[in-house]
Amino acid sequence: MIDIKIDTEPLSLQTCFDKVMSPVAGGIDVFIGTVRNSTKGKKVVHLEFEAYETMALQEMRKIAENIIEKWPVHHIVIHHRVGVLKTGEIPVIIAVSAAHRDAAFTACRYAIDTLKQSVPIWKKEVFEDGEVWVAAHP
């Protein structure tokens, strides 16, 4: 089962866990991205996430489908939030269930690493004295 979502509302860890829970799974691996309070020593006031939603959903689904092809996993959830997020809030949750932990860990790591490379979602860091689109400039 693949479950993909982009939402303006806070993400639910419980929902993600419930969706991947399975009697045939021996383990669940969960990655939770959280908003850090500083970047290179500068205090972050908040982050703003923006998505090209139709394409982002499609790219997230491709990641999940690749995982199902590559590793013996049962269920994958990839939920991403957009909008304004404050320190400690959760922009992304990835949950993977598998019969054995190796596949779950590997798939979960692949999912977040690939999401950061290919899914059209952007993050702007807002500081007290300015703002910057992350990774935009060299």
Answer yes or no whether residue 16 interacts with another protein by CB under 8 A: no
Nearer to another protein, 46 or 123 (CB): 123
CA distances (Å), origin 125, targets 34, 46, 73, 117, 131: 13, 6, 35, 18, 6
Answer yes or no whether residue 7 interacts with another protein by CB under 8 A: no
On whether the CB atoms of residues 132 and 40 are closer than 8 A, the answer is no
Answer yes or no whether residue 103 interacts with another protein by CB under 8 A: no
Nearer to another protein, 92 or 103 (CB): 92
Minimal distance in Å, beta carbon 53 to another protein? 10
Name the DSSP class of 73.
E
Minimal distance in Å, beta carbon 123 to another protein? 4
Answer yes or no whether residue 85 interacts with another protein by CB under 8 A: no
Answer yes or no whether residue 89 interacts with another protein by CB under 8 A: no
Answer yes or no whether residue 121 interacts with another protein by CB under 8 A: yes
Which range binds another protein by CB under 8 A, 16-24, 63-71, 96-104, 111-119?
111-119
Residues 17, 129: Cα–Cα separation, whole Å: 39
Please tell me whether residue 37 adopts helix, strand or coil conformation.
coil
Binding mask 29-58 for another protein (x = CB under 8 A): ----x---------------xxxx-xxx-x
Neighbours of 14 (CB within 10 A): 7
Answer yes or no whether residue 4 interacts with another protein by CB under 8 A: no
CA distances (Å), origin 135, targets 106, 132, 138: 25, 9, 7
Bridge partners (DSSP) listed for residue 92: 33, 80
